Amino acid sequence: MKVAVITFPGSNCDADIYRVLRDQYKAEVDRIWHRDQLEKKYELVILPGGFSYGDYLRSGAMAGFSPVMKSVKEHVNKGGKLFGICNGFQILTEAEFLPGALTRNKNLKYICKTVTLKKGSSGNPVTSSLDPQKELRIPIAHADGCYFATSDVLKQLEDEGRVLFRYFGENPNGSLDAIAGITSKNFKIAGMMPHPERAMNSVTGEEDGKVVLDLILGA
């Protein structure tokens, strides 16, 4: 699989997802600087976690106007897959690839901990192979991770089966409907706040990130 990982000024998880894809999935991975364009055809483009452009204005707001996003939009228009993790999810909403917004955590604090997720919508083809009762332990690290959308958008996400994951047990940031991640209407674009690339190591005892990335890469 050919994958592009976009690096913005302030990205700090691009190397993590790059190494996971290269070493554990044996993918052909390129790191693309924000000023450049996608010059190859990729099956998947990833917007990693971090603080793109220092999260000035709002988290992810400025990245949507980055030069590289022109070719990212062309990639999407041609049917390519796009995945945003944490700050990448924020960018996807700010650039209107996905609906809603990621707002300040309800406790107004930065949260860095491992949380429990479960499958979201039963009709989402990305997670169709995932047992709805399976609990996934995945880390989060964000200050602006509270998913917000209008009631109409929330209903649309439900009706169209577009909720990717939900927080289970504890809703750490106060996201509406405990939403931890969503997909686009055609299920080619996905975003989530938790970091699957940080749960890939038996040494830490957290390996559920592989379940998540298997689904994203195989969708």
| Separation CA 203–CA 201 (nearest Å) | 5
The answer to whether residue 195 is catalytic is yes
Catalytically annotated residue among 13, 86, 94, 142: 86
| Separation CA 197–CA 23 (nearest Å) | 12
Catalytically annotated residue among 94, 142, 146, 197: 197
| Separation CA 83–CA 196 (nearest Å) | 12
The answer to whether residue 13 is catalytic is no
Pairing assessment for the beta strands 136-142 and 111-119 based on DSSP bridges = antiparallel
Tokens of 120: 């979201």
What sections of the chain are H helices per DSSP? 14-19, 68-77, 87-94, 151-159, 209-218
Catalytically annotated residue among 34, 75, 142, 195: 195
Question: Would you name the residues annotated as active-site residues?
Answer: 86, 195, 197
